[in-house]
Structure 1
């Protein structure tokens, strides 16, 4: 549907995803391909799995291996990996023989496959897992934040949520804990605020760790364009950055 809820592409696919970079993946008879914004199938349904386009590339699966195609459907990085993630900041995580590393957009391994798990880069840092602990590397593959946390999210606005024991807090890009681990749940910052959970209620903190919207909601989500969805007694509402319900 378009923005006024008019059906512009008929219901004809077994499955479909949202558009990214002008293309959307669709499924026909157990195979995946891509359509453009007018519904034309521009990349035939030939893949066993696929993901959305990012930076002009989309990961695709043929049999048990992953590779990458460009926006015209050409396989530019052969399906040779046991696992793969979308590119971010010029690098994509891949799995070879049970370990993860990173390739560039030409398919060359830039950071050797040495991690038990690896995630996308954000603000020039990527979360990696060694054993049961998580840390961060830079785009050169250097371990800049040692694997010492029980859990870590990606960096946003210079901060990343981490878990120590059963509590969450935030570190800066040097790995220093700048907001103490005191929350029962946290996520990444968006528009200067992050939703946190204390007990069974959610609220919002600023980048200094101050609770600016008290924990009073049953659930809460990130702010987008000045508004965030929250849930109270099973009903969803929108709040502004003062915590006022506007819808």
Structure 2
């Protein structure tokens, strides 16, 4: 992973710090992207500035705004006149501004939505991999072979990312294929299990819900509002005792405990489990995002009083929310 900077907000303005907690880009901008692939982007009036890890401006994009994305594979989704398009790391437009919605570039392609609400999959060369004909397309991962598409009757089926025809089996709902497995719910309001890339059942429906995808052979699972972690065969690795368990990223998995009511994420705190399911960082944060490398963004405080910080893999702040 390339070196990154870390987004901060102070007095309503955005900037970046490095891994040592030193301010590299002063928080003077109205908005900023997350830093990824060694690049970030800040909003400066009506223009965007692409920054490198030294905080230097690499390129400027005029008359554009940030749309909640980050660089991915050297491309960034931005907004111009209420339409989305993609620029490269030099600020050059590579996919024109014509979409209502768009996901980040993955495997050289991006999921986009046209003005008629139809979704397609477009390459960074501007070619359609999937013609825009679907009600929705599920986001996928760098190692995914399939994605899920919603057909006209609002049933989900799977389609290979190489552009070949979709598979015939359909589901009431799905998540994301990764590591050759895909969580699925065959019937409306039914239970969840998972299938392989040939749509063959691997684990029959037995959970009330699952995490979005498999990570290192594990997935979060929920039954009766209690979350735990399963292996690829449906065996529990972490007992279902939390209000929430997330995906495993860089050896850390978010969990939530102490919720005021079952099925909610209110009144409790976030912490992190390690890859074995043991508590690595106790639950003490009001908000938390997944680890990216050896750092995770967390918040302390509620709503308008929430303050943003960054922690390392041991839960130690290198940017304290109270600075």
TM over 0.5: yes
Gaps of 5+ in 1: 1-19
TM-score of the superposition, structure 1-length normalised?
0.83
1:143, distance to aligned residue in structure 2 (A): 1.9
Q: Is the 8 A contact 1:171 1:179 kept in 2?
A: no
Residue aligning to 1:33 = 15
Report 1:66-145 matches (<5 A). Answer: 66-78=48-60, 80=62, 81-84=64-67, 85-130=69-114, 131-145=116-130
> 1:191 and 1:217, CA in 2 relative to 1: closer, same or farther beyond 3 A?
same
1:204, distance to aligned residue in structure 2 (A): 1.1
- String of CA shifts for 1:175-200, please: whole Å, max 9, x gaps: 511253x2222122121111122333
Q: Is the 8 A contact 1:61 1:79 kept in 2?
A: no
The reply to whether residue 190 of structure 1 matches residue 173 of structure 2 is: no
Residue aligning to 1:230 = 221
Give the total of aligned pairs.
228
Cα-Cα RMSD: 2.2
> 1:175 and 1:153, CA in 2 relative to 1: closer, same or farther beyond 3 A?
farther
1:50, distance to aligned residue in structure 2 (A): 1.6
Q: Distance in 2 between matches of 1:187 and 1:224?
A: 13
The reply to whether residue 174 of structure 1 matches residue 157 of structure 2 is: no
Q: Distance in 1 between matches of 2:221 and 2:80?
A: 41
TM-score of the superposition, structure 2-length normalised?
0.65
Gaps of 5+ in 2: 239-323
- SS in structure 2 of the partner of residue 120 of structure 1: coil
1:79, distance to aligned residue in structure 2 (A): 5.2
> 1:238 and 1:117, CA in 2 relative to 1: closer, same or farther beyond 3 A?
closer
